[in-house]
Amino acid sequence: AQSVTQLDSHVSVSEGTPVLLRCNYSSSYSPSLFWYVQHPNKGLQLLLKYTSAATLVKGINGFEAEFKKSETSFHLTKPSAHMSDAAEYFCVVTRMDSSYKLIFGSGTRLLVRP
């Protein structure tokens, strides 16, 4: 079955250090891939998306992600964490049987220490 796996449920970094949030997907084709962020008690907001164009995707707030088909990965990175980055992050993939259906990963909560 198609799935998306976020490898860490929690990630803790110090302010100013790099951020890496890992995402792997299982698929026999190239899906559309997204990263969304959710701040406490809020809806989700799109950070970036990959839809078969450039494999290195730049998003908002300094985040970027690289699509690696050979590794079926779409890891999210940021060179320098800010306190305001503390939130929950979701990796999302379109389903193979219907690109109108999205599958969400279970989420990674990012903690940023001062």
Partner 1 sequence: NAGVTQTPKFQVLKTGQSMTLQCAQDMNHEYMSWYRQDPGMGLRLIHYSVGAGITDQGEVPNGYNVSRSTTEDFPLRLLSAAPSQTSVYFCASSDLGRGLAGVTGELFFGEGSRLTVL
Query: What residue ranges bind partner 1 (CB under 8 A)?
Result: 9, 32, 34, 36, 41-46, 49, 51, 90, 94, 98-102, 104-107
Q: Where are the alpha helices (DSSP H) in 1-114?
A: none
Question: How near is the Cβ of 7 to partner 1 at its closest, in Å?
Answer: 14
Q: How far is the CB of 32 from partner 1 (least distance, A)?
A: 5
Nearer to partner 1 among residue 9 and residue 55 (C-beta): 9
Residue 45 CB, shortest distance to partner 1, in Å, is: 7
